[in-house]
Chain A
Amino acid sequence: METQLVLEKWAGVISTLTIGADAKEGGTRANTVKIGGQKSLPLLFKEGDIPNPTAIAFEIWDVSPLDWPEELVAAYGKALDNPFDWADKCINEFKAKLLCVRMQGAHPDFGNKGPKEAAEFISILLSRVKVPLIIIGCGDDAKDNQILPACSESARNERCLIGCAVQENYKTLVASIMADGHNIIAESPIDINIAKQLNILISDMGLNLERIAINPTIGALGYGLEYAYSIMERARLAGLSGDKTLASPFICFAGQESWRAKEARISPEQGIIWEIITATSLMQAGADLLILRHPEAAKKVSEHIDILFKNKS
């Protein structure tokens, strides 16, 4: 006897977020990347339309990362010394379609670069690479409130995805993003109530809910992955049930979290495996955009996505 699938019919839809603007839209990107837009739980292709496969962005920094493990450093070699070479390598050698640049050099402990330098950096990067950009602050709220508006302005009309806004610090970033036509990342500490509240606060300022990606904050394999999974699943169920304040696509910093695990540093293979397992598990939880670090992990996850989405029909 053939097994009958129990299919759920959802009232809601996850919002579609486009990263990058091409010439037709007033930007200069060669390609754009769409995430979200699904009417189904992750990968349940028979349940509802899943128009956009999970996207991968390569993470680069505006400064040479000092504390990255040997395995990661080896993968990029000398290119790590120059962020533009690093960006080129991701695109030319590893076929990146999307870059996520962390403005780590602005952090008071990592060079304390100012808004002018940050804006210049983004401007050069935009002229050097043609893929869409995700721009992440250094994590110091006061400093990010200076540099992110400068980066936003420098990338005006390029429809970047910029973050991260948090509940205690979102107003400055929201204002810049509205003025310059970007999308925002709303970060909550593995907390669905705060994720929802922050989305409301941001939309109250006038930024459309459809321009928000949720960074639910994730843990790597062995470091709370299942907790992140349950939060993402619950938010996704609410979004699909019609709660527009939770119907945002998810961005997950899988590379960053995986390489923090001590197990990832035991051997080169194990680090890559750690990143792959973390990333692919997050896809099952509903990740729409994965920020990855090791090119080999990105390649394997990308192949995995291709296989899953090839079987779509």
Chain B
Amino acid sequence: MFVIGELINGMYSKIGSAIKERNKKAIQICALEQITCGADALDVNCGPASKQPLIDMAWLVEVIQEVTDKPLCLDSSKPAVIEEGLRVAKNKTIINSTTADKEKLDILLPLAKKYKSQLIGITISAKGIPQNKDQRLDLAASIIAECQEKGFPVEDLYLDPIVLPVNVAQAQMKDILESIAEFKIISEPGPKTILGLSNVSQGVFLRSLINRTFLTMAVAYGLDSAILDPKDKELMDTLITAELILNKNIYCDSYLEAYRKK
């Protein structure tokens, strides 16, 4: 599982104020802690309160690159902010994210190609959030078709079936899980799959339990990557164990430690 740490996000008050005060140290500590806990890449989001997101994004990327060469997942709804991150990034990058809307794809696919970045595509469009699996598959197919048309390698595309909070869309959870498996067979080679995990427990009680249960089920459906809180140790232990049960790693008594040693 390719784990993307979600904690460098201006919506968290500590990070928000670190960005505002240009507190480099606080950002770097947050980056390294997530990596120590098992993050393979780091999400970078300057948050909704940022008044100068272009400058903040560039600053965050530069500050994080000073302490790690892990890939950075540039997270913004504004393509200009993403491009600013891409421009200064020395590390590998993942664009987070495009929707299935042609206007968005027309901007972000050329950017991804230009900067040799990977790309996350979320199966939503201007029409709104899909209501079932078929709508998700339609949107996924249109993103893939657009990638193929523009010569962007589908292996570098991560498709996100868009996770909704369990208390808002309980009836859709099974569709979301099944979409993970079915996205993979839309094309050959297939896209990778990804979830923004914490959405599933937004606004609900027992968040951590719901996160790790949903993640386990998603892993069983073949999920490749997740944006999550790697400092949630029970979540990471559960993830490692789920992959062990799927024979992705060889068992030994210290398998949790062995995974972290990798």
Contacts and interface: CB of A to CB of B under 8 A. Distances in A.
Interface in B35-75: none
A243 B252 contact: no
Contacts of B252: 193-194, 196-197, 200, 245
Contacts of A196: 250-252, 258
A244 interface: yes
A197 B254 contact: yes
Nearest to B251: A193
Contacts of B249: 238, 243
B261 A245 contact: yes
B253 interface: yes
B250 A243 contact: yes
B262 A244 contact: yes
A165 to B, nearest CB: 15
Interface residues on chain A, size class: 10 to 19
B257 interface: yes
A234 B250 contact: yes
A204 B261 CA distance: 10
B42 to A, nearest CB: 20
B124 to A, nearest CB: 33
Contacts of A204: 257
A108 to B, nearest CB: 31
Interface in A193-249: 193-194, 196-197, 200-201, 203-204, 234-235, 238, 242-246
Contacts of A273: none
B38 to A, nearest CB: 14
A244 B259 CA distance: 9
A192 interface: yes
Nearest to A246: B250
A256 to B, nearest CB: 26
A200 B261 contact: yes
Contacts of B254: 197, 200-201
B251 A244 contact: no
A136 to B, nearest CB: 25
Contacts of A246: 250
Nearest to B248: A241
Contacts of A235: 250
Interface string B5-28: 000000000000000000000000
A203 B261 contact: yes
A200 B262 contact: no
B250 A242 contact: no
Contacts of A193: 250-253
Contacts of B261: 200, 203, 244-245
Contacts of B257: 200, 204
Nearest to A209: B261
A192 B261 CA distance: 17
A194 B253 CA distance: 8
B116 to A, nearest CB: 19
Interface in B236-262: 249-254, 257-258, 261-262
B258 to A, nearest CB: 5
Contacts of B253: 193, 197
B99 to A, nearest CB: 32
10 contacts: A192-B250, A193-B253, A196-B250, A197-B253, A200-B252, A234-B250, A238-B250, A244-B262, A245-B258, A246-B250
Leading 3 A-B pairs by shortest Cβ distance: A196-B252, A197-B252, A200-B254
Interface of A: 192-194, 196-197, 200-201, 203-204, 234-235, 238, 242-246
Given A197-B254, A238-B250, 7 more contacts: A193-B250, A200-B258, A201-B254, A243-B258, A244-B262, A245-B261, A246-B250
